[in-house]
Structure 1
């Protein structure tokens, strides 16, 4: 999106919400949002018009674009369960790897499908995942979850169990 188009949309949002904003504030918003795809940015601004009573902070618009940490943790939970079903412990998201390592490693995580406490496991997973939005991911976490399992003492081949 061109800067002038962005400025028009942001100023329109401000006018509708009854806020006067200075050029420096518009420039600050542009710096935050200039790399976002046009379609997502327009959708977030339009959604903000429908849902916000006050002019949104950049973090609020980012949440409308990317989803909240709670949204992301739910998505990560489903990706993790799918990995169990597909016997595929490879994740692009290092937060997932860090959470699974925190929960005892891949083998232990694969056992959750057999437990009656799946809800509690999900809750714990999602809380830990959201924690890693606020804290740095440990530097010793490998994208290859098998490396992490070996480091904490598990065998090369994980045990897979189906629910």
Structure 2
């Protein structure tokens, strides 16, 4: 929603809560507005109506979580839909093309699976296991909300440096899903996830010993 839609949003929420004989405080209004801004106002109105007519949930006043459940589904639902999108793209696009999905959690989960080319080359007998691992990883990222992810899933092609050396532009990635949202995913991504660093036990031992000795030397 845009800021200009705030008055209409406020009136709608006030009317809905009045149906349940509840007032809308400024705190509640701000909470709803900040949580629902990613949604379309018309879609939100339809979700309010669906909640009110739900035989099980409609007898209670709506909460933000109810709207998210209706508009986005549970993380399990979203993970299943994401896997379907990935599975179709694996055969339609293939391992040699860079891809940008319209969902950053797909990028993060795909990197956990070893990258786009590896996923595309999964043996048919292993697809069930890949689906299980992917959906588990996807749900973890979707529930976290904020995470690092690669701006694009690189295909099995020549490195970027070879294109630059030859004075060629990088090949355009395939946009999967909603093109506008895929572009936002690309803009918000990075080169990858936070790198994992480690030090050997021996190195750590030397560092700890040096830290212990430092105060003694100063004394």
**CA distance in 1: counterparts of 2:9 and 2:116, whole angstroms:** 45
SS of the residue 1:19 aligns to? coil
**CA distance in 2: counterparts of 1:30 and 1:6, whole angstroms:** 8
Q: Which runs of 5+ in 2 are unaligned?
A: 160-219
1:133 counterpart (115, 135, 142): 142
**CA distance in 2: counterparts of 1:106 and 1:3, whole angstroms:** 41
Matched, 1:91 2:100: yes
Matched, 1:40 2:49: no
Which structure: larger Rg?
A: 2
- Moved beyond 6 Å, runs of 4+: none
Q: How many residues align?
A: 146
RMSD, matched Cα: 2.8
Q: Give the CA deviation at 1:79.
A: 1.3
1:101 counterpart (95, 111, 116): 111
The normalised TM-score by structure 2 is: 0.55
1:145 counterpart (141, 150, 154): 154
- How does 1:12-161 map onto structure 2 within 5 Å? 12-34=15-37, 36-51=39-54, 52=57, 53-86=59-92, 87=94, 88-92=97-101, 93-112=103-122, 114-115=124-125, 117-135=126-144, 136-138=146-148, 141-146=150-155
After superposition, the Cα gap between the structure-2 partners of 1:143 and 1:38, relative to the gap in structure 1 and judged at 3 Å, is: same
Match of 1:156 in 2: none
After superposition, the Cα gap between the structure-2 partners of 1:76 and 1:35, relative to the gap in structure 1 and judged at 3 Å, is: closer
SS of the residue 1:91 aligns to? strand
Residues 56-93 of structure 1: CA distance to partner in whole angstroms, max 9, x if unpaired?
22233133223332222122111111111112550233
Q: Which runs of 5+ in 1 are unaligned?
A: 151-163
SS of the residue 1:146 aligns to? coil
